[in-house]
Amino acid sequence: GQNIDQPTEMTATEGAIVQINCTYQTSGFNGLFWYQQHAGEAPTFLSYNVLDGLEEKGRFSSFLSRSKGYSYLLLKELQMKDSASYLCAVDPNNAGNMLTFGGGTRLMVKP
Amino acid sequence: EPEVTQTPSHQVTQMGQEVILRCVPISNHLYFYWYRQILGQKVEFLVSFYNNEISEKSEIFDDQFSVERPDGSNFTLKIRSTKLEDSAMYFCASSEGNNEQFFGPGTRLTVL
């Protein structure tokens, strides 16, 4: 089976940095994705890692270690609008691009 | 910016009825997907579709579900005989290839 774990909730302060961790155990690995989902809305793509290391995109960075089955999403200079759920998803095979999602981490940014 | 669209935004149906959820993927994308999200739970993969056939499906996608690309733009999900537990948000997504999937706004299905 596929297993993706991430914390349920986190709280951080506006302007700060927050790191959201994700660990995975899947039958295969073809890439790890981070999505942002505001309440009642669709997931929107943030980042994609398929090789080990850090991918930086503006205020958001994502890190992957395939040997450890571990990723994190780093959000810098937090803004109130960053309050949302952050979903870690793994593509476990190369055939059908099926994303397996974790339960999501609900981030609350406080002033 | 091109986007995935879905209709209707909200569908209410009686248990046992058939529903068809419609999606228009981004025009140059080749891979299409359906996911569902029961309220308060995680997003779950249902099915992926490429080159006019199903490429992967999950255990959720049983004989009550089917997908179709009836023309060059639409991609549909049909649930033959809805059950109460089918109530969820259904997201369509599309991608160019083995990369980021773009999600539509979703159809909220309520089965009474």
The shortest CB-CB distance from B91 to any of A33, A42, A96 is to A42
**Which B residues in the span 5-24 are in contact with A, Cβ-Cβ below 8 Å?**
none
Q: Is the pLDDT of residue B98 over 90?
A: no
DSSP track, B48-106:
EEETTEEEEE-TT--TTEEEE--SSS-EEEEESS--GGG-EEEEEEEESSSSPPEE---
> How far away is chain A from the Cα of B78, in angstroms, using its nearest Cα?
19
With CA atoms as reference, the chain A residue closest to B104 would be A42
From CA A85, how far away is CA A88, in angstroms rounded? 10
Question: What is the predicted pLDDT for the residue at B25?
Answer: 96
A contacts of B50 (beta carbons < 8 Å): 96
> How far away is chain B from the Cα of A111, in angstroms, using its nearest Cα?
26
Q: Which amino acid is at B99?
A: N
Phi, psi (rounded to 5 degrees) for B67: -130, 155
pLDDT confidence bin for A55, thresholds 50/70/90: very high
Question: Which pLDDT tens digit goes with each residue over B8-57?
Answer: 999 999 999 999 999 999 998 999 999 999 999 999 999 999 988 999 99
From CA A109, how far away is CA A10, in angstroms rounded? 9
- Span A24-47, average pLDDT: 93
Secondary structure (H, E, C), A24-38: EECCCCCCEEEEEEC
Residue-averaged pLDDT of chain B: 94
Q: Is the pLDDT of residue B76 over 70?
A: yes
Better-predicted residue by pLDDT, B1 or A29? A29
Tokens of B72: 């060059």
The answer to whether A87 and B44 are in contact (CB under 8 A) is no
Q: Is the pLDDT of residue A94 over 90?
A: no
Q: Which amino acid is at A33?
A: F
> How far away is chain A from the Cα of B100, in angstroms, using its nearest Cα?
7
Answer yes or no: do A93 and B56 touch at CB < 8 A: yes
Question: Which helix (H) or strand (E) element contains residue A88?
Answer: strand A84-90
